[in-house]
Structure 1
Amino acid sequence: MTTSNLTRTTKHWDIFCTVVDNYGDIGVTWRLAKQLAAEYHIPVHLWVDDLHSFSHILPNLDPTLAQQTFNGVNIFQWNTPLDIEYVAGEVVIEAFACELPKQVKWVIERLHKQPQSSAPHWLNLEYLSAEDWVDGCHGLPSTQPSGIKKWFYFPGFNHKTGGLICEKNLFNERDQWQASPNNKMRLFEELGLSGIRVNDTVISVFSYESAALTALINQWQASPKPMHALVPKGRSLTSLAPFLPVDVTDLIPGQQFKMGNLTLHILPMTDQTGFDRLLWSCDFNIVRGEDSFLRAQWAAKPFIWHIYPQEDDYHLVKLQAFMRIYCDNLAAQIAATWTEVNLAFNQGDAKAVVNHWQQLNSVILPLQQHAINWPNNALNDADLASRLVQFVKNS
């Protein structure tokens, strides 16, 4: 470590991310890093501990390289200890309470102690939640044992929070895409999905394991019109194993299995732009985690959110908090039907999820219109990146 690095920062921002559940945490931080670089021209250094998982959503990434650049973002392999000399940026973000490397903390502490230095802003980017307590905790400082303040930044659904990740042109791009059915049909062809007609019902499935999913697949086979379930290799397929003639591990993208009036398609992995377009192209999306959950909302289509299970069913508290705000201006019957199908799916209640799914048909048109209106209401005139940049300026 050179002495000069203890008295200066550069204009870049550092974001540290540990990959959890393969794609969730890195999905959020990668979108944020790209947006900061593209829209605010901020040099971003993204430190990631698992480049192999990261490469699933960034196919051109080489997991063997310690440093590489994509979309204006410098991506570094985060080893312990760091094997690259660390120079602090203006802002240091630890995503989702990951523990900063000791070398990084050491540099930050000494920069704060140097009277002539420019000490970085230290932020903890928290998970997205619609719970009421988030409003009061967003933007609060936490004084560390060293005396340095770390600020807690909470994404959220109102002006009292840190906002939601959304690129400036996203909604216009979505509307242009959805204006012509040719776009979705071309995408399905590019993904190797055959046999889908323009008016067939198409559902994307990116969930955890659930008996509720098994029950829905069984129900969809008896659909009065052709249906297609698009499922990537991963945890969702574990619940579909009883329907498959081959072992889940032997499945390959492009395979399809016809079961009654339902066709199950095995999806290839795609980058984030491709995933957005997939959500835009489906009639209904089943998603999980945080990144996919938010992108399903921006897709302006009805969806089920399979939230990550937590001890003592605390995830259901988070789910219900979101459902309350999502259904705030929905008619009672529509709100109840959508809420119950989400709750049943998350509780793995096979019988209930089928019953409530059947009831969706009676409310699907107003639910679709609500899904179209929701994104603009949820964004609250300011996205997460713009609020984050302003937060740093103000603090």
Structure 2
Amino acid sequence: MLEPRVWDIFCKVIDNFGDIGVCWRLAADLASRGHQVRLWVDDASALRWMAPSGCDGVRVLPWDQAPDLAAAGLQEQPCDVMIEAFGCDIAPEFIAVCARRHLAVGQKPVWINLEYLSAEGYVERCHAMPSPVQAGPAAGWIKWFYYPGFTAQTGGLLREPGLPARQAGFDRAAWLAAQGIDWGGEKLVSLFCYEPPALAALLARWAQHGLQGQPLRLLLAAGRAQTAVKAALNDEKCLQPIYNVHGLLSISYLELLPQNQFDHLLWACDLNFVRGEDSVVRALWAGKPFVWQIYPQHDAAHVAKLQAFLDMLQAPPSLRRFHEVWNALDGELPTADLPAWSRCALAARQRQQQQDDLATQLVRFVAHNERQTP
């Protein structure tokens, strides 16, 4: 294994917190293994609630028009690995400093472009492919394209050490009480979504029938999910009486949750609705039935990505169809089959746990390519 190294991770926040969420988890995971990480980000505001306690070994630095490399200590503590997350292009001033150091002492960092997560076939073909740098102060260096993924031929998934033990010690009732949720044993469903067209129909179904005929409490994530539900119910009082004539649906509106508390939310629920890249991985590790709303793309490229994910999941027909309708493909939502969906989730988690996690594989990849790079 690689002895402790200095990693510089570059992240640009596009929207919806997914980019910074993945980069923070990776930075904190590496730091927990003894590495030093500088996380350069153009908008770190989400970390105030996402990681309010910070993390020993991770330093968050502003990535603006003129990054202050001297204040960051780059000369005193040069990087061994630099990661541009999701093709964000590392600051040219940073690369110039690394190039000057290479000329002076003959040491250059391992340069990695960390790509988006997908279960599509191209991931295996493109993972760990080298791309020679053609111009600039780092001309002749190699940039490596690194793909997270779900198979042994990819870079794996973020899974920090000790996660299963943390979940095994989780006390659902205590956590719900700490959130101020008066739980009476009803089914618990988390909802973290964009604005799915099927949302109103699903709320109406729950209000009329509950979940598997039992009362349901919806634990609603802050932000767009809450706005979407309020719009669907068309009432800022959270629930119109017409939607709840049988008393089968109640809603708890949550505050913004730190990442570890979001894990707890997923562990507490009987069914989870998640969105984007970071939360779908956490739902997978939770081992509970889940439905994923993939980020929609204008050219419908997300449809093939969704189908590849469902193939990987070995989703039963009802779960596949639910995903398709939830992601705005035509049709009506099928009835949730929680026993079948649960078996699917547990089997998928078990398969993924047989593979090394993303940080472990990255460390090994760096060790190999550090030796290969003069």
Q: 1:221 aligns with which of 185, 192, 207?
A: 207
Q: 1:77 deviation in Å?
A: 1.8
1:13 paired residue number = 7
Confirm or deny that 1:367 pairs with 2:341.
yes
In structure 2, the partner of 1:239 is 228
Q: CA deviation at 1:243?
A: 1.4
Q: In structure 2, what residue type is equivalent to 1:116?
A: V
Distance 1:283 1:387 in 2: 32
1:83 aligns with 2:42: no
5 Å-filtered alignment, 1:50-199, equals 50-60=43-53, 70-85=55-70, 87=74, 88-112=78-102, 114=103, 116-145=105-134, 146-177=139-170, 183-194=171-182, 196-198=183-185
Instruction: Indicate the SS of the match to 1:246.
Output: coil
SS at match of 2:220: strand
Residue by residue over 1:8-48, the C-alpha shift from the partner in whole angstroms, topping out at 9 and shown as x without a partner, is xx94111111122232111111111111111x211111111
Shift in CA distance, 257/233, structure 1 to aligned 2, threshold 3 Å: farther
What is the rounded CA distance, in whole Å, between the counterparts of 2:26 and 2:239 in structure 1?
35
Q: Verify: 1:210 aligned to 2:186, yes or no.
A: no
Q: CA deviation at 1:115?
A: 6.2
Pick from 348, 351, 357 the counterpart of residue 377 of structure 1.
351
Query: Does the aligned pair in 2 maintain the 1:288–1:308 contact within 8 Å?
Result: yes
User: 5 Å matches for 1:251-330?
Assistant: 259-260=243-244, 261-327=248-314
Please give the secondary structure, in 2, of the residue aligned with 1:19: coil
Using the alignment, how far apart are the partners of 1:276 and 1:232 within structure 2?
A: 12
SS in 2 for 1:162: coil
Task: Name stretches of at least 5 consecutive residues in structure 2 with no aligned partner.
Answer: 370-374
CA distance in 1, matches of 2:222, 2:346: 29
- Cα distance in 2 for residues equivalent to 1:292 and 1:387: 21
**AA in 1 matched with 2:118:** S
SS in 2 for 1:92: strand
Amino acid at match of 2:279: S
C-alpha offsets along residues 67-120 of structure 1, whole Å, 9 cap, x if unaligned?
Answer: xx62321111222210242523000001111121121121233344x1632111
For residue 96 of structure 1, what is the amino acid of its counterpart? F
Offset of 1:173 from its aligned partner? Answer: 1.9
**Is 1:19–1:53's contact at 8 Å kept on the other side of the alignment?**
no
Q: Secondary structure at 1:188's aligned position in 2? A: helix
Q: Which amino acid aligns with 1:108?
A: C
Query: Is structure 2 residue 317 aligned with structure 1 residue 336?
Result: yes
Q: Which amino acid aligns with 1:12?
A: V
Q: Go from structure 1 to structure 2 and tell me whether the alpha carbon gap of 1:221 and 1:76 turns closer, same or farther (over 3 Å shift).
A: same
SS at match of 1:128: coil
Find the aligned partners of 1:148 and 1:262 in 2 and give their Cα distance: 58
User: What is the alpha-carbon distance in structure 2 between the residues aligned to residue 125 and residue 58 of structure 1?
Assistant: 21
1:394 aligns with 2:368: yes
Instruction: Kindly provide the amino acid, as one letter, of the partner of residue 185 in structure 1.
Output: A
Question: What is the TM-score of this pair, normalised by structure 1?
Answer: 0.84
Does the Cα contact within 8 Å between 2:266 and 2:272 map onto a contact in 1? yes
SS, match of residue 136 in structure 1: helix
Which whole-Å CA distance do the structure 1 matches of 2:240 and 2:259 have between them?
26
**Is the 2:313–2:345 contact (alpha carbons within 8 Å) kept by the matching residues of 1?**
no
CA spacing shift, 1:72–1:347, aligned 2, 3 Å: same
User: Structure 2 length as normaliser, TM-score?
Assistant: 0.88
Deviation digits for residues 225-262 of structure 1 (CA, Å, limit 9, x no counterpart): 21111112211233321415328xxxxxxx88874211
The answer (yes or no) to whether the contact 1:191–1:268 under 8 Å persists in 2 is no
Distance in 2 between the 1:25 and 1:393 partners?
A: 25
Give the AA of the match of 1:59: P
Measure the CA separation in 2 of the matches of 1:277 and 1:215. Answer: 27
Q: What CA distance in whole angstroms lies between the structure 1 residues aligned with 2:240 and 2:332?
A: 26
Partners of 2:82 and 2:109 within 8 A in 1:
yes
Gaps of 5+ in 1: 1-9, 61-68, 178-182, 248-254
Give the SS at the match of 1:285.
strand
Pair 144,380 (structure 1): closer, same or farther in 2 beyond 3 Å? same
The amino acid across from 2:187 in the alignment is: T
Aligned partner of residue 123 in structure 2, secondary structure: helix
RMSD: 2.0
Q: Distance in 1 between matches of 2:24 and 2:240?
A: 34
Following the alignment from structure 2 to structure 1, what is the Cα–Cα distance between the partners of residues 127 and 340? 34
1:352 to 308, 325, 332: 332
Residue of structure 2 in register with 1:27 after alignment: 21
Q: Counterparts of 1:245 and 1:312 in 2: how far apart (Å)?
A: 34
Structure 2: distance between partners of 1:137 and 1:381: 19
In the alignment, the residues of structure 1 paired with residue 268 and residue 47 of structure 2 have an alpha-carbon distance, to the nearest angstrom, of 24
Cα distance in structure 2, aligned partners of 1:58 and 1:172: 21
1:366 to 1:176, Cα distance in 2 relative to 1, 3 A: farther
